[in-house]
Structure 1
Amino acid sequence: MSNLETALKQYFGYETFRPGQKEIITAILEDQEDVLAVMPTGGGKSLCYQLPALLKPGLAVVVSPLIALMQDQVESLENNGIPATFLNSSLTAEEARSRRIAILQGKIKLLYLAPEKLANAGAKKFLQSVQHKQGLSLFAIDEAHCISEWGHDFRPEYRQLQALRSQFPQVPMIALTATATERVRNDIVNQLKLKPPKIQITSFNRPNLYYEVQPKQRQHYNQLFKFISRQNGSGIIYCLSRRRVEEIAFRLKKDGIAALPYHAGMSDGNRSDYQNRFLRDDVQVMVATIAFGMGIDKPDIRFVVHYDLPRNLENYYQEAGRAGRDNEPAHCLLLFGRKDIHTIEYLIQQKEDEKSQRLARQQMRKMIDYAEGTDCRRTIQLSYFGEHFSGNCGNCDNCLNPKPIEDWTVEAQKFLSCIARCRERFGMTHIINILRGSKNKKIEQNGHHLLSTYGIGKDQSVDAWKNLARSLLHQGLMTETSDGYRVLRLNQRSWEILRQKRTVYVAVPQKSSQKQHRYQHLDIETQQLLVQLRKTRKQLADAQFTAPYMIFPDATLREMAKFKPKTLDQLEHFSGVTEHKLHQYGKAFISDIQAFLQEKKLPTPVPSNTKMKTLSLIQQGLSIEEIAKERGLRTTTIINHIAELIEMNQPIELEKFVPKDEQKIIWETINTVGDTSLKLIKETLEEDYPYQAIKLVRAWWRREQNQASSI
């Protein structure tokens, strides 16, 4: 294990980095580079500056836009035994003075400040004192998209941060955001005056999130209630209006679901109180406008529902992305009703600037395209951010309940040919009207009724042509302008289609029964133990006035419930367990597990520490060769570990290592010749199966025999 991985485990309890994290940390630590990091919500952005802050001398300054977000981050760090603090308007003068003294004495490693605070002359002078006495290790600008007027949440106070470069030219700077188009990324680099930075763009894909769009039914509250009644864990419901928020929260509470409202019309005290109650799992559901979210660092949100259509795809990605930040499965549901479009149109009309209205309408139409789209939801989302995704994600409604795929190459040629004949100056509706032979005045005024493509598409409905057009855009087979007019343009792929060098396949809508998304289920006894562990976590959290996930995340509790460690030495190797948390909370959870095993009189699975490490890497999806390389062991040793784990009834999917058809043949051979000799089994088999496969199937065979004999 390298020094970085050792530090990762020591401070944060994890043995491996998430994609992009190590590259960013190395750039800061070893190369002293500026960095622009674009990572999705839940991708682990905060660790990219927190770990370097702990390993570099001096104080790291983190710019964060919201008080709640600062407090949450600091509390989480302190729970890991890391010295961090914040300075903001929520503190008394004496509290602020005490924290400044601790910083100057070198007792603090991370300081969180609001952008407005940094503009204050006193704050600048204080940081200069820190630089002189202790040194500044780095500046981290969180939610960096706020600095760009092209971003979805522009905040003018962020523009003042560019002064940091001239004041502290030698201090490395890292800018972090979850969503940024190329235009926004360039603006961030220019505004912050980043020295040619390392730009790390991690995939926007969130594979653990299940995306679904349902048509909004007439009784849409009942539709929502049925959905929530089937969910476990915390959730957020987003609504467009404050009135709707209050109404839904009231009805849910009346129907027995612990829910609270949240919107900008409430007092600061109420919003803060309700937010804390949600974070600490005192209530299950927060019903909110878009005023709720940026300051929420709750990783175990299991579902997000958009009760109304979001204004644009970027907002939707951000809001839905607040689910499953712990990388556990989560459900993102959008209820789509055509009436929502009128509401958004009204909000757009309130904008004074005509250009802003035009751009907002284009963004709204992209959102409608997503809601009505038949392609893989991820393909549509990721293409918006300029990332190509091949589709068939296996974790959205369109992929789990696929529409028939048809060859629409001829229709695509008609559509693209019509765009070319209109000199790439018109939008989707106009092109469809031409193809369908419409008598529209605009068509005659432009002489488009004389085109050879006029009326050649009467055999397809308007909706069918729209579906084709959306699919061409989502697949990158044509483009459109981003100036708000949404004019269709041809690209290289378009010409390949017209020259019959590329085939076009389109998912065609049809009525079909909805398949339900299937999550990984735990066995009954594991679920029972998990319930008890969550109760203990809640009691510990309440005693410390903190959020339960800050004790241990859901994923760690799930591992405990599955593997049932009996000692602190075994628990130490679990993901998310730091040395600090092990000593502070470990005994309470080990006591729960021992009591449960005694009550159920279950055989206690006690794999050795080295086998537990192998099991953890298997659960992360690593191959035998990758595990051996990661652990510095021989592959034969890892195979022996897996065989022993299978015999101990640990949760290992044999199909990952031996195909099912091979399992059956080897199983039948063992039934015939017995399990004593691997060599005899291999020689009896008609085909040349590797010893690895034989050994693992034999372990499974022995386990089944042992269980049968104990009945």
Structure 2
Amino acid sequence: MPEQPHILATLKEYFGYDSFRPLQQEIIDSIFAGNDNLVIMPTGGGKSICYQLPALLLPGITLVISPLIALMKDQVDGLQANGIKAAFVNSSQTENEQHSIYQNLIDKQIKLLYVAPESLSFLDTILSQIEVSLIAVDEAHCISAWGHDFRPAYTQLGYLKNKFPNTPLIALTATADKATRQDICDQLNISNATQHLASFDRKNLSLEVRPGNKRIEQILNFLDNKPNDSGIIYCLSRKATETLAEKLRNQGYNAEAYHAGVVHEKRAKVQEDFINDSIQIVCATIAFGMGIDKSNVRWVIHYNLPKNIEGYYQEIGRAGRDGLPSSTLLFHSYADVVQLQKFADMSGNKEVQLAKLDRMKQYAESLSCRRKILLSYFGELIEKDCGNCDVCLDPPTFIDGTIIAQKALSTVTRIKEQEPIGTVIDVLRGAQNAAVYDKGYQQLRTYGIGNDISWRDWQQYIIQLINQGYLEIAFHLNNKLRLTERSKKVLFNNEKVSLSHLKEFEKIKATHVEQSKKTKSNTLFDNLRELRLKLAKEAGIPAYQIFNDATLKEMEQHKPTTDEEFLQISGVGKQKMQNYGYQFIKTIIDYSAQKTKKKPQNKGNTHKETLALYKEGLSIEEIAIQRKLAASTIFSHIMKLYNEGEDIDLNMFVQKQDIKAIQQAKEELNHPDGLKPYYEYFEGAIDYNTIKLALAILKKGTSNT
């Protein structure tokens, strides 16, 4: 087993972190001890590092089973950005591309190989020729029919433990109840695996549930305070995603729809644009977002009630993966319950689906701390209310609802328990429609006795009566409302009923003073984010793979101005320091200069000071020491001076063989745009700064080669 200092040094060098999150060290130690492991860790909890870090220190390759092409690409791009040799094999590649990867595997040029379960059979010959040190099965809940996202292709994975009996296997998922956990271990043939159950408490996520009336209007009000933040809106139907995206676009938001009916090319573009911050909002069915490590999703809305708590928890977990405060909002309505009930009726495991839907419904209609309900579902109990959900922030008040209950229960009795909730409310409110008149319900004594209460409020009161066991829905009988044993106590024994006052559904949400969407903010964080987006487009990678929002926030707070200070920022590793350090330090210094109201000419003078010292023959490091600036900042001065036509010899900063190699790559790649094609061509052996220098030299034809 590697020594602790070496493990921590690897964590900092490649991932930019000084310490592990809860359970990560324990899981990694267990892998090095040769144990099989099952890891249940919430989205954003750091599952990937649990196998990616050991992969760097183990002698052979780490084989990662992953369910989606987009997930593989996202993970591999992120690893390569950190200077880690990784690749994936799936159906999106040509035969030549795959053979090249196979050769790299044999030549020990790859540490992590991502593969879809369907492609495993094609790798048997290659896997027999190389050393497999670790097997990771990501999104492991897909193997279980008890799970919320069962995928038949996963059921073949049990053979891996038979083929590699001495190789530790780690199965990872964000959501699995007790039955699903055992099923995962049994099917993967790791029944004795060490189980690691992390806390499911994502404290940075606020939880809010609202009734599903006027949803579009509510969403627009919600977005008023989030003009520049990325978010996802999950819908039950394809039509809803299209309609909602169009309405948002009409209001000036950059929104697109994503569902299985959209052609593959467009779906891929929507996902890529969202990852790259080119699209702000995606209105999607549940197919969107699985495993996508976009860390700066600031909010998630559920336009409809999800079908189970596992799926809901995983979907809200796509917000705030960087640990910064993020919002979640769930709309629910009786119509959603009916629709999901129909879906469950058509499923292969109807009873399980219905039971899980019932739990989801109870969560949405709860009048107690929502986080407690979520955590208890996964077997985690907390004593105190969370203080970060709508119920905790605005506790309901209760009223004496006995008369309301008596009116509702009496009406259900008089219509002989033959109608669903909508018709019951119509009778209570004295509606004059066919549903009432065709059956003579206008003759009932209870007709119109509840016309002082709105239709929607009656709906909420009746749902509370259902939750408290005074009524029940007969789903198998067209959702008719039925009386229960408890009903008699209210109707005949004067039992008192407490109902939540519905004022919380009417309250106008406090509006925070925010900048208008048209007002351009000028914080250091915004400047850093703009720089990140520019660099990401230049390198052809998602913005968050350069640095996530949490790292930018830490830069904003500490304002590092030297290489050493910059490396202390969480999320800054060796490779990213080399590739991007000087640009971010320069932005921080420039911003600080503006805030201290330095005169405009100072910016020009600082470059002239660097130029004067350069002409004296000082190196970049010597200039940095004399000027008490970061070497990366001096480097940025040199590049700026060169681009402005000053007599700067860039050849002294880049080796001749690197210029030759980049010139050859330029010709072979047919003069590509951006830096990423070169970076990938050299498989990370030549960093971005060297590539920039060499291309600048080649462009002006000043090479001494």
* Aligned partners of 1:238 and 1:305 also within 8 Å: yes
Q: 2:245 is matched with which residue? A: 249
**Once the 2 structures are TM-superposed, how far is the Cα of residue 602 of structure 1 from its aligned partner?**
6.5
2:526 corresponds, among 522, 525, 531, to 531
Distance of 1:167 and 1:338 partners within structure 2: 50
Paired with 1:306 and 1:214, the residues of 2 have a C-alpha distance of 10
8 A contact 2:245–2:257 mirrored in 1? yes
Pair 1:511 & 2:503 matched: yes
Which position in structure 1 is the counterpart of 2:140? 144
Q: 2:21 aligns with which of 18, 21, 29?
A: 18
Aligned mates of 1:176, 1:24 — CA distance in 2: 11
Unaligned regions of 5+ residues in structure 1, if any? 412-428, 443-460, 471-505, 604-711
Question: 8 Å contact 1:309–1:334 — kept in the other structure?
Answer: yes
Counterpart among 299, 311, 316 of residue 315 in structure 1: 311
Letter in 2 for 1:52: P
Q: Distance in 2 between matches of 1:78 and 1:580?
A: 10
* Long gaps (5+) in structure 2: 418-460, 471-497, 599-705
C-alpha distance in 1 between matches for 2:96 and 2:81: 24
- The residue number in structure 2 matching 1:285 is 281
Aligned partner of 1:67 in structure 2 is 69
* Equivalent residue runs for 1:252-271 within 5 Å: 252-271=248-267
Task: In structure 2, give the amino acid aligned to 1:239.
Answer: C
Question: 1:440 Cα deviation (Å)?
Answer: 11
Match of 1:221 in 2: 216
Do the aligned partners of residues 295 and 195 (structure 1) sit closer, same or farther apart at CA in structure 2, a change above 3 Å counting?
Answer: closer
- Summarize the Cα distance change of 1:302–1:469 in structure 2 as closer, same or farther, 3 Å threshold: farther
Report the alpha carbon displacement of residue 406 of structure 1 after superposing the two structures with TM: 11
- Looking at structure 1, the residues matched to 24 and 262 of structure 2 have their Cα atoms a distance apart, in angstroms, of 38
Alpha-carbon distance, 1:359 to partner: 3.2
What's the counterpart of residue 240 of structure 1?
Answer: 236
Question: Which residue number in structure 2 is paired with residue 6 of structure 1?
Answer: 9
Q: Which residue is 1:379 aligned to?
A: 372
**Paired residues of 1:136 and 1:171 also in contact (CA < 8 A):** yes
Aligned counterparts of 2:191 and 2:315: Cα–Cα separation in 1:
32
C-alpha distance in structure 2 between counterparts of 1:519 and 1:117, whole Å: 53
Identify which of 334, 356, 359 aligns with 2:352.
359
SS in 2 for 1:2: helix
- Tell me how far apart the structure 1 counterparts of residues 383 and 161 of structure 2 sit (CA, whole Å): 41
CA RMSD of aligned residues (A): 3.2
CA offset at residue 33 of structure 1? 0.4
Distance 1:174 1:406 in 2: 52
The TM-score, its normalising length taken from structure 1, stands at 0.68
Q: Which range is displaced more, 68-77 or 591-600?
A: 591-600
Distance in 2, Cα, partners of 1:291 & 1:5: 36
What is the identity, as a one-letter code, of the residue corresponding to 2:350? Q
Q: Which amino acid aligns with 1:511?
A: K
Contact 1:526–1:561, Cα closer than 8 Å, also in 2: no
1:633-687 Cα distance to aligned partner (Å, 9 max, x none): xxxxxxxxxxxxxxxxxxxxxxxxxxxxxxxxxxxxxxxxxxxxxxxxxxxxxxx
1:375 touches 1:391 (CA, 8 Å); kept in 2? no
Cα distance in structure 2, aligned partners of 1:547 and 1:171? 33
Secondary structure class of the residue paired with 1:211 = strand
| Identity level (%) | 44
- Is the CA contact 1:400–1:517 (under 8 Å) kept in the aligned structure 2? no
Question: 1:137 is paired with a residue of what secondary structure?
Answer: strand
Deviations 1:163-212 (A, max 9, x none): 11111111110000111111111111111111611100011111110000
Aligned-residue offset at 1:159 = 1.1
2:118 aligned with 1:116, yes or no?
yes
User: Do 1:323 and 1:331's aligned partners in 2 also have CA atoms closer than 8 Å?
Assistant: yes
Q: Deviations over 1:503-526 (max 9, x none)?
A: xxx9955524466598999xx999
The answer as to 2:181 corresponding to 1:189 is no
> d(CA) in 1 for partners of 2:338 and 2:265?
33
Counterpart CA distance in 1 for 2:545 and 2:567 is 17
| Residues 298 and 326 in structure 2, CA contact (< 8 A), matched pair in contact too | yes
Q: Distance in 2 between matches of 1:9 and 1:405?
A: 53
Mean Cα displacement is larger for which, 199-208 or 461-470? 461-470
Write out aligned runs for 1:35-184 (5 A).
35-118=37-120, 120=121, 122-130=122-130, 135-184=131-180
Whether the aligned pair in 2 keeps the contact of 1:60 and 1:140 (CA below 8 Å) is yes
Q: How does 1:634-649 map to 2 (within 5 A)?
A: none
Counterpart position of 2:339: 343
Q: Which whole-Å deviations, capped at 9, do the CAs of 1:424-469 have from their partners, x for residues lacking one?
A: xxxxx9xx989x9979999xxxxxxxxxxxxxxxxxx866555556
Residue deviations 1:335-375 (CA, integer Å, cap 9, x gap): 22222223223333444x5xx33432332222221111011
How many Å apart are 1:301 and its aligned residue?
Answer: 0.5
Q: C-alpha offsets along residues 201-239 of structure 1, whole Å, 9 cap, x if unaligned?
A: 01111111000011222x321221221232142100011
Aligned residues: 518
Q: Please give the secondary structure, in 2, of the residue aligned with 1:309.
A: coil
- Aligned partner (choices 550, 560, 568) of residue 565 of structure 1: 560
Alignment-derived partner of residue 680 in structure 2: none
1:269-289 per-residue CA deviation (whole Å, 9 max, x = no partner) reads 111111100000001001101
Q: Is the 8 A contact 2:148 2:308 kept in 1?
A: no
Provide the secondary structure at the position in 1 that maps to 2:129. Answer: helix
Query: Within 2, Cα distance between the matches of 1:311 and 1:233?
Result: 27
Question: Hey, what's the Cα distance between the residues in 2 that align with 1:563 and 1:277?
Answer: 31
